[in-house]
Amino acid sequence: MPDEPTDVRSLRARDISGQAVVGDGNHVVVTGHGAAGPAAGVTEAQLAALRAAFASVRAEIPPEGPTADRAAELLDELEEAVTAPETDLTTMGYVRRWFATHLPALAGSVAALLVHPVVAQLAEAAGGGLAAGYHDLVNG
C-alpha cells in the first residue's frame, strides 16, 4: 500500500503569476529567476536604450549647486532599483518624490524614466503584486 497522507492540507491562492509548487517532498531548481535580460524578455539593446535614457537625465543635472551630488547618487540608485532582479518600488517612489521636492526642474525627466517602456517591461515580468504596485506608482 502506498504511503497514506497523515495530514490534510488546504491551499488558497490569489494573483499568482508564474509557477507555484504545492506538496511534500518537492525538489525545485530555479535558474535565471527575476534577472533582467532574456529571462525578463528584455534584450541587451533595450537595456542599452534605458542606460542611455539615464545618461541623458544625468546630463541635465546642474553641475553646480547643493543638490548636484545627491541628484547623481539618486539617479544611480534609481537605475539599480529598476534593473534589479526584483524591481524596487520603494526606491522608485522615493527618488521621484525627492526630485519633485528638491530639483523640480528634473522631476519630469525622472518621471519619464519611471514610465520608460523597458522599466515597465521589467516590472511586468516580475508579475503579481509588484506589477500592480508599479502601475500604482506611475499612475498615482
The tens digit of pLDDT for each residue in 48-76 reads 999 999 999 999 999 888 899 999 999 99
Residue the block writes with cell 537625465: 57
pTM of the model: 0.68
The tens digit of pLDDT for each residue in 117-127 reads 999 888 888 77
Beta carbons within 10 angstroms of residue 3's beta carbon: 7
> Do the Cβ atoms of 59 and 100 come closer than 8 Å?
no
Every domain of the chain and the residues it spans:
42-139
d(CA 23, CA 26): 7
